[in-house]
Amino acid sequence: MKILFYTPQSDAAVWLADLQRVLPEADLRAWQPGDHAPADFAIVWRPPCDMLAGRNSLRAVFNLGAGVDAILALERERPGALPSDVPLVRLEDSGMAGQMAEYVVHAVLRYLRRFDEYAQLQAEHRWHVLDPHPRESFTVGVLGLGVLGAHVAQAIASFGLPVRGYSRSARRIDGIATYAGPSQFDTFLDGVKVLVNLLPHTPETRDVLNAGTFAKLANGAYLINVARGAHLVERDLLDALRSGRIAAATLDVFREEPLPVDHPFWREPRITITPHSSALTLRAESVAQIAQKIAALMRDEPITGIVDIARGY
């Protein structure tokens, strides 16, 4: 069994060592330009076009992340960059769901208990008790109900807050009011106090966090974006903050990363910034998941996590 590996990150050697440990029988090699030798599987993160193009004999391509927007964008820009009829497999959870739930729950509770405003009062040396937000109307809306989104929605609901979720196709989750499809999008947004974005990045979801979306939320709503920076129209958020339509935002992802030092988000005190760290890919869990799926494919057994190329996730 021959496995081709590529990541532009500096820890490639560590990934290779861990993969070799769980797949000792594999002939595992790091791809280099000009390498056209046969392979049975490819494990990649942001691969160059020349790596996968024409490798139609591969049994699967494994993406080292839950988000596949970068590799699908490569295919849109350079048709044929992905080998035809070869399944593209994304990571499922691999330790990310728990991290994402911690991050989002922290942000939601911070706004619910108004700790962001207390921090400002502390900076001003002011002792002042703020009226709490009414829990019954502090509705949290989760955009995207995949593995991560469903886990986040349930984690928030465990605190007794009203939670609703939106997805492209119908989903049923205990304790969560669910909405599906464009015809229910406005109904989902109506009255939401905290909007959490966990949508996949596709051409259809690009710029979904815009002035029109913000206008349908409860006045003085909060935004938490942990999906992709391309979902957010940045100027619309700044305008909504100035008008009071949006009270504050927690952003973990940005159109340009690292966020440029002169970006206006740095100067807006109502925006909390983290460096794309809400849910990190955990190497041990990811390696184990990929190894299990390779073993299943070698036994001609079905696997989960195969990307629908047309949908983009």
Return the CATH number at 306.
3.40.50.720
Residues 58, 206: one domain? Answer: no
Residues 110, 257: one domain? Answer: yes
Domain that includes residue 302, residue range: 2-94+281-311
3-class DSSP state for residue 137?
helix
Residues 133, 30: one domain? Answer: no
Bridge pairing between strands 246-251 and 163-167: unpaired
The gap from C-alpha 61 to its chain's centroid, in whole angstroms, comes to 20
Cβ 114 vs Cβ 121: under 8 Å? no
* Tens digits of residue pLDDT in 279-295: 998 999 999 999 999 99
Whether omega for the bond prior to residue 24 falls within 30 degrees of 0, making it cis, is no
Residues 87, 151: one domain? Answer: no
Residues 60, 164: one domain? Answer: no
Q: Is the pLDDT of residue 21 over 80?
A: yes
Residues 45, 174: one domain? Answer: no
For residue 248, list its beta bridge partners.
Answer: 222
Nearest to 156 by CA among 222, 97, 101, 99: 101
* Tens digits of residue pLDDT in 220-263: 999 999 999 999 999 999 999 999 999 999 999 999 999 999 99
- Long-range pairs of 202-205 with CB within 8 A, sequence gap ≥ 24: 202/69, 202/72, 202/311, 202/312, 202/313, 203/312, 204/312, 205/231
pLDDT score for 9: 85
The H or E element containing residue 61 is strand 60-63
CA distance 104 to 225: 9
Number of domains in the chain: 2
Q: Is the pLDDT of residue 106 over 90?
A: yes
Residue 265 banded pLDDT, cuts 50, 70, 90:
very high
Residues 215, 226: one domain? Answer: yes
- pTM, two decimal places: 0.92
Nearest to 294 by CA among 14, 38, 22, 66: 22
Cβ 43 vs Cβ 290: under 8 Å? yes
| Catalytically annotated residues | 228, 276
Residues 110, 39: one domain? Answer: no
Q: Is the pLDDT of residue 94 over 90?
A: no
Residues 153, 28: one domain? Answer: no
